[in-house]
Every structure is written in structure tokens, then in C-alpha cells.
Structure 1
Amino acid sequence: MKSGIITIFTLCFSVAVMARKEEELYYSKTQPANLKEEKVTRVGFYLHDILSGKNSSAVRIAHDNLTRDANSPVGFGSLFVMDDPLTLGPEIHSKEIGNGRGMYVSASKEMSKFTIVMYADLTFTTGKFNGSSISIFSRNPVAEEAGEREIAIVGGRGKFRMARGFVKIKTHHIDMKTGDAILRYDATVYHY
């Protein structure tokens, strides 16, 4: 009888200890972050979004058959995946400093108001920010070609961990027949 009680006690104790361990995995005690002073960094580069040719950097992976316009490379409802080079200058052979990987969807019915909603991780592969990235997730009103448009920075990695801020985008060149575009990105990044 004593061994049965000891066994039951041991099992209850083990279950309580395991439950406590699982709880510790779920969350830890909240503590002050003790972050260093926030910094602001400005970075500028060009993004090359190339839809045409054999070596394209963005491809359409889905589209809506009902809204697809055969004459439009970026018809309403089209979803694209991108692996776009980031360069110092607007020429494709300018020094490459990283890549923009992510996706975007064409979110406007009228080409005159062409807008995409995009998510991208802009990773730097050289220089001071090598291995770091900024993440963007925002509406991008591409048709506002004449002026700058602004998209949100929602995070980052490496030296840009916990980033927030914005990117001003200006179209350097766009070919509305192919969808190819060269865009100037000027990012203002707040980070720790």
C-alpha cells in the first residue's frame, strides 16, 4: 500500500514539474528591455524588378482568369515572387549590394491607378550592413510615377534588428509593356 501511495505521489509531482517546464517554454518573466539608444540610418540604392527575358528577377506565379488583361504584364489580381538585385547605381551592371526577396500583388483594377501591395526582405550582402536586412510590407502606388511614394519598414535583421521607418521610392525607369522597372529606394531606418 505504501509503495502505491509513493508511486501516485511521484507521478503527481512529475506531472506538476513537467507542466511548469512547459509553461516556462511558453513565456518568460517580463523584464525591462534595457535597449541602447535608438539610432537612425539612411541607406539609398536601386532595385531592379525585371519581368521580361530569360533572366527575369520577378515572375508571375498566379493570376485571376476573370480579371486578367492579356495586354498587361501586371494585371489586377496577379501575384509575383521577386528576387531583385539591389545596386548602388541605376545601371544593372552597377555594384550589387544585396537583393530584395519577397512578393507583391497587383491590387488595382485601373492601370492609370496601378498599385501593388508588397512584402520584401531587402538584404545587404556587402559593406557595413552585410548580413543585415530591412523588411517592408506596404501599399505601393506605382502609378504615382512623377513623385515619390512611401512604404513602411516593419522590421529587420542583424544591425537593423527591431527596425521601423519608411522608404521613399522614386521610379527611375519603367517599361509599361514588359513591366520592367528600376526604382530608387531611399530608406530611413530607426533601429537599436
Structure 2
Amino acid sequence: MKKGIMSLFIIAFFLAVTVTAHSSDSTSYYGNTKPANLKQEKVTRLRFYLHDIISGKNPSAVRIAHANLTGGSVVDSAVGFGSLFAIDDPLTMGPGKDSKVIGNGRGMYVSGSKDISKFTIVMYADLAFTTGRFKGSSISVFSRNPVAEEAGEREIGIVGGRGAFRMAKGFIKIKTHQIDMKTGDAVLHYDATVYHY
């Protein structure tokens, strides 16, 4: 009888160890890889204006950090080298202040050029649409933006998106519609080509 109970105990013990070892394997951080089953890729063109306002009582871009530099035109500039800005910039249909708001650009940018004549920013922004066909969707940019290096038009990269623009990629061509070099206020024309599913 004792041998039977002992045998039963040993079998139960090994069964518990086996079940525990198996269940710990099933709690891994990944699952099985499956085909993505994506639909055909689409291309969408978006044209809008972004208003980056640093001055006044209600700015849409606020400097949250800056380098401790002394002297020179870089320090005197509203967006001097090493300045980091948080943004909540309105996106509008047209360039005017009273133009219809279709979304907002939220994120940050840092001034990444010592020479003000070659003013460049590096930016991350989520450009979200709050009205129309793409309401609730956004495109994400993370790119170098050579504001003063290129005459007329410059280009930034689209690295992702959400909603209708999930898994987006592409580019945005930017033209400066208006800029005040004393205040740093700018109105920019964005012409986006978005590849998405």
C-alpha cells in the first residue's frame, strides 16, 4: 500500500512539474508569426497649412529648453541653436488666421544648426486630422527640416501614422508661406504624399 501511495505521489509530482514547465512556455512575450494579409497599398495627397506661432499671449510653440550660450546671432535668434520647442500647431485649409482648422500638429522640434543662415530643425510631430474624411487619423513625421538651406521647397519624411494612415510612409514637401525672423512665427504650406493601406 505504501509503495502504491509513494508511486502515485511521484507520478503526481512529475505531472505537476511537466504542466508548470509547459505553462511557463506559453506565457512568452510573442505569438506565432502569420501573414499580414494587407490590402493593396494606397496613395493619398494632403495639402494644408501649419501655423507655428512662438510670439504673443497664446503661442502654439513654446520653448521648453535651451543651451547656455553667450553672444552672437545664434543667441539673439528666437529659435537659437539648441532650443527645444513643444508644439500644438493648428493645421488649416488656407494660410490665413481665420482659415478653417482641420487638425493640429503636436510634438517637438529642436534647432540643430549653429549658423542662422543655414537654419535647420529636427522635428517629431503627429499631424492629426479632426474633421472631414480623415477625422481621427494622423501621420507622423520624424525628420531633419532644412528651413533655410533650400530655396523654395524642402522635404521631410513620414515614418508612420494611425487610423486611416496606419503603417504610413511617404514625404511632405514644405514651402514657407510666411515667416517673421524676429519672432520666429511661421505659416508653412504642407503638401504630403502618403502611402498607406
TM range (shorter): over 0.9
Unaligned runs of 5+ in 2: 1-5
Of residues 44, 53, 57, the one that matches 1:54 is: 57
Structure 1 residues 57 and 145, CA, compared in 2 at 3 Å: closer, same or farther? farther
TM superposition score normalised by structure 1: 0.93
Q: Contact conserved, 1:67 with 1:75, CA < 8 A, in 2?
A: no
Of residues 121, 124, 127, the one that matches 2:132 is: 127
1:36 aligns with 2:39: yes
Distance in 1, Cα, partners of 2:82 & 2:123: 13
**1:75 CA displacement:** 0.8
> Which deviates the most, 102-111 or 6-15?
6-15
Pairs within 5 Å for 1:80-95: 80-95=85-100
Q: Deviations over 1:89-123 (max 9, x none)?
A: 00121000000000000000010000000000000
Q: Deviations over 1:40-74 (max 9, x none)?
A: 00000000000001100000000110368442111
2:118 is matched with 113
Distance in 2, Cα, partners of 1:145 & 1:96: 28
Distance in 2, Cα, partners of 1:162 & 1:66: 40
1:186 aligns with 2:191: yes
1:64 is matched with 67
Higher CA-based Rg: 2
Structure 1 residues 73 and 7, CA, compared in 2 at 3 Å: closer, same or farther? farther
The one-letter code of the counterpart of 1:30 is T
Aligned CA-pair RMSD: 1.6
1:162 is matched with 167
TM superposition score normalised by structure 2: 0.91
* % same residue: 72
Q: Contact conserved, 1:67 with 1:77, CA < 8 A, in 2?
A: no
Q: Contact conserved, 1:64 with 1:78, CA < 8 A, in 2?
A: yes
Distance in 2, Cα, partners of 1:32 & 1:7: 41
Unaligned runs of 5+ in 1: none
Q: Contact conserved, 1:67 with 1:76, CA < 8 A, in 2?
A: no
Distance in 1, Cα, partners of 2:146 & 2:58: 26
